[in-house]
Amino acid sequence: LYKETWNVGVVLLLLVMMTAFVGYVLPWGQMSFWGATVITNLLSAVPYVGNSLVQWIWGGFSVDNATLTRFFAFHYLFPFVIAAATIVHLLFLHETGSNNPLGLNSDADKISFHPYFSYKDLLGFAGLLIALTCFALFTPNALGDPDNFTPANPLVTPPHIKPEWY
């Protein structure tokens, strides 16, 4: 159907997930450290280059300060890559149009996007931005795992590792 649009959308999803993961590692607590160790070790399953890839990401032979520096750089860089991929995705959507799951032509009921939807989207974006900013500034540790407040120690594994709430 529209393979380019779909592929760029999947790349966007993966980039957002990678940004979230490297951001999760940045507090450098116990859960962050062991999360980085486990997830990056999954790359060792790639045939032929897996171990070299893991050592390149780690910056050595284990998760250490070099890993934290690399993840900080990735966490800073990925939003710019996401913004560029979003523009490409929107260009593809503008060229091909969005897909209707019913496959029916809905040209008869169209109204112009601007100003009607633009202002509505802008108001919703502003409200969400204000709410998230207040949440982040007034309760920064509300969703944090208590084990992640313990500094990273590669010699001690947390006794009760559990999945995150999300």
Dihedrals phi, psi of 164, to nearest 5 degrees: -65, 165
- Kindly name the residue from 98, 110, 114, 160 that is annotated as catalytic: 98
- Kindly name the residue from 4, 44, 118, 164 that is annotated as catalytic: 164
Half-sphere exposure of 39 (CA within 13 A, CB side): 16
- Catalytic annotation on 164? yes
Cα 135 off chain centre by: 19
Q: Whose CA is closest to 65, among 26, 24, 21, 31?
A: 26
- Kindly name the residue from 4, 52, 62, 121 that is annotated as catalytic: 121
- Catalytic annotation on 160? no
- Catalytic annotation on 32? no
- Catalytic annotation on 120? yes
- Catalytic annotation on 145? no
Instruction: Report d(CA 4, CA 51) in Å as an integer.
Output: 32
Instruction: Report d(CA 96, CA 58) in Å as an integer.
Output: 41
- Kindly name the residue from 4, 62, 94, 95 that is annotated as catalytic: 94
Count Cβ atoms below 10 Å from residue 144 Cβ, excluding itself.
Answer: 13
Both tokens of 124, joined, read: 């919703």
Instruction: Please answer whether residues 91 and 68 qualify as being in contact, where contact means their C-beta atoms are separated by less than 8 angstroms.
Output: no
Which residues are the active-site residues?
A: 94, 98, 120-121, 164
